[in-house]
Amino acid sequence: MENAILLGIIQGLTEFLPVSSSAHLVIARSFLKGFHQPGILFDIVLHMGTLVAVIFFLRKEIYTLLKALIPASFYSIPPRDAHLAAVLAERKNIRNIIIATLVTGIIGFSFKEEVEKLFASPAIAAFMLVITGILLFLAGRAKNTHRGENGITAADSIIIGIAQGVAIVPGISRSGATIALGIFRGIARETAARFSFLLSIPAVMGAFVLKARHISMIPYPDIKFYAAGFAVATIVGFLSLKLLFFMLKNRHLEIFAYYCWAVGFSVLLLNTFSH
């Protein structure tokens, strides 16, 4: 039970905070004796927990996007011009999410086998964690970030989609890379974060579909462990999202950069002296 709770906490924290969950997994597996990567089924359960967290956190935005998909002919009263303009803006956001997701998918499928080999190297994960820190530090210092959701373009979506695709490399934080690239493009910090996490929903669902083919039913005696991991990942994930948006609002993104550098350089030193 303790392991299930611990893994739920790690998943909830590292899935949304820009510190790279993959790097922590590689580092833990390399340096902590007795650490075992969770099985596919438990990994899916943890990701479902964080998926529930992000859906609940962004429930208003998701509702607005889904409502925009309803054709005008379904309304008993013809919608006003202002409503139509809002619907078109939300449909543009949906288009942007689709574009970014397609770009990510192309990168992910093209380099999947090469990237999987990198998970054996804590040094690479640590080095990439340092790179993540640099991105976060520069993003935290960036100015002229004022564009809202309606200002996100197809070009922005392609670049952010590339960032999410590159984040399959262990040590590159998915949320960190996508938020940072959005900020570099002049998108407001919180807007970039919302777009990043909306973009994570189809990515997690896609990973679920791919992994679900290899699982069987949860053994009855183990249900409580899976339930504990799911619940903890959901709660911690939601709290992590609240913390991240608070940090973005108060322009404290650099704090995560310092953490990434501390962990990255520490692991590089340990890896150097252990050989």
pLDDT tens-place string over residues 235-271:
999 999 999 999 998 888 999 999 999 999 999 998 8
- Which pLDDT band, with edges at 50, 70 and 90, does 7 fall under? confident
pLDDT surpassing 70 at residue 47: yes
pLDDT surpassing 70 at residue 18: yes
- Give residue 204's pLDDT: 82
- Give residue 73's pLDDT: 59
- Give residue 222's pLDDT: 72
- What is the model's pTM? 0.87
- Which pLDDT band, with edges at 50, 70 and 90, does 154 fall under? very high
Lowest mean pLDDT among 35-49, 123-137, 158-172: 35-49
- Give residue 215's pLDDT: 62
pLDDT above 70 coverage of the chain, percent: 86
Cα(158)–Cα(177) distance, rounded to whole angstroms?
13
Lowest mean pLDDT among 15-19, 108-112, 168-172, 211-215: 211-215
pLDDT surpassing 90 at residue 224: no
Residues 6+ positions from 154 with CB-CB distance below 8 Å: 95, 96, 99
pLDDT surpassing 60 at residue 11: yes
Cβ(8)–Cβ(46) below 8 Å:
yes
- Which pLDDT band, with edges at 50, 70 and 90, does 198 fall under? very high
Lowest mean pLDDT among 96-105, 207-216, 261-270: 207-216
What domain range is 167 assigned to?
Answer: 2-273
pLDDT surpassing 80 at residue 160: yes
pLDDT surpassing 80 at residue 79: no
- Which pLDDT band, with edges at 50, 70 and 90, does 81 fall under? low
If one counts the domains in the chain, the total is 1
Encoding tokens for residue 88? 């078109």
Lowest mean pLDDT among 119-123, 127-131, 218-222, 231-235: 218-222
